[in-house]
Every structure is written in structure tokens, then in C-alpha cells.
A = this chain, B = another copy of it.
Amino acid sequence: MTGVPAVVLLSGGLDSATVLALAHAEGHDCHALSFDYGQRHSVELQAARAVAEAHGAASHRIAGIDLNAFGGSALTDPDIDVPQAPEAGIPVTYVPARNTIFLSYALALAEVLEADDIYIGVNAVDYSGYPDCRPEFIDSFQRMANLATKRGVEGYHLHVHTPLIGWSKAEIIRCGGQLGVDYAATVSCYQPDAEGRACGVCDACRLRRQGFEHAGLADPTRYQSADVSRAG
């Protein structure tokens, strides 16, 4: 490892796997950071491990964080159902302040590693309903981050990279395909089964399946029902 260190937020999903491959291709020593936040789909952490290994991450940390105690999202609160169809406005799968918390941890790790680059796979096209996926949020976080740390005070400039922010799912998949990302190892579904197989009907599954269609590539996703993979 002789590259410049970067912290890469890695969920185990399609987007963050692509971001890791991109940061690696740009010559960074990538320190992957995942979170165990009581998400229903903890198989995504197994996916994150596989992806980190496949893309030669310099290190991979899984930080346990306590979002369950707060509730307020279908992804962490067992009393809220995961929707099976697109919603108007901000989805109930939105986890309050999630990206703010994730980026804050990434900032702490960057400070310790003396890294000035954080990569996050937010996307403002498919996830336009999430306030913390918007460019103005990321810009504002970056400004705050440079005031928050010892390294910022010392004159270094932290950069939050969001290479996917304006891309369609098809563009993300085509890029990842060229970089050799094994999307079969990734999990996007909000309610996968214990083997990591996708439901095929939640918002995340729908967007992902359409992405492969629009990219003109075969969908390697493992679905719980063969009907879904044929549904197109």
C-alpha cells in the first residue's frame, strides 16, 4: 500500500461497492467503514466484508451504533412496515440523520488515519426523497468537517467525494461492470432473507432491477422467488 489513504463508507450495497472500486481505481489505499446499526438487513454486513476483500481494502471496520433506541424509520423500527411501492415525499425508509452520523464517524476515522478523502455512495437521482443525499447537504457537511477537526485547523482540507451523486442506477452499474465489481455479492434489498436473497418488490429492489435493464446487463441478483427475476 503506497497510495493516499481514503475512508470509504461501505454498506454492502451496489452503490457503495461501486464507490470502493472507483476510489481504489483512483489509487487510494481504501479504509472501508461499515455500520451495524440494527438494520433489518444485517446480511448486508456480510456482503460488505466480501466486497472489501474483493477490492483489496487496506482495512475494514464495522462500528456498532445505536439507532434502534431512537426509532423513526422502517429500516430500524420493527413497528413500521417496509413499503412495497414507491412513496410520495420522504420515504419511511429514511433513517433520521443517518448520513450525518455515518459521515461523522468517517470524519473521526479520517482524522486518526490522517486521511483527507472520504467517499460516500449517495445518489440524488434515485434517492431524491432523502434530504441527506442532496449535494447541498454534502457541501455543507464538508464545510462543517473542515472546522471540526485538528487536521482542519492545521490547514489540511478534507474532501467528501460523492462520485455517484448525479448518476442513474444504469450508469452506476455500467461503471462498476467496467471496474469488475461482482454485484452478485452485494445486497440492496430492504428485506432480504437470511441467505441475502432479495425480495424483489421493495423500492431498493425495484430501482436495482431497472438499473440492470437500462444498463443492458444481466441482473446477477439472487432473488427469493424465481418469479421476480423473470418479472423484469
Contact = CB atoms under 8 A, between A and B. Distances in A.
Q: Is the interface of A mostly helix, strand, loop or mixed?
A: helix
A193 interface: no
B66 A149 contact: no
Contact of A70 (B64, B112, B143, B152): B112
Given A137-B148, A147-B134, A149-B97, A112 B71 contact: yes
Copies of this protein chain in the complex: 2
B143 A144 contact: yes
Interface string A38-70: 000000000000000000000001011111011
Given A100-B107, A104-B104, A150-B94, A72 B112 contact: yes
A92 to B, nearest CB: 10
A163 interface: no
Interface residues of A, number: 42
A149 to B, nearest CB: 6
A223 interface: no
A153 B131 contact: yes
Given A70-B112, A101-B101, A132-B149, 5 more contacts: A72-B108, A72-B111, A99-B148, A132-B148, A134-B147
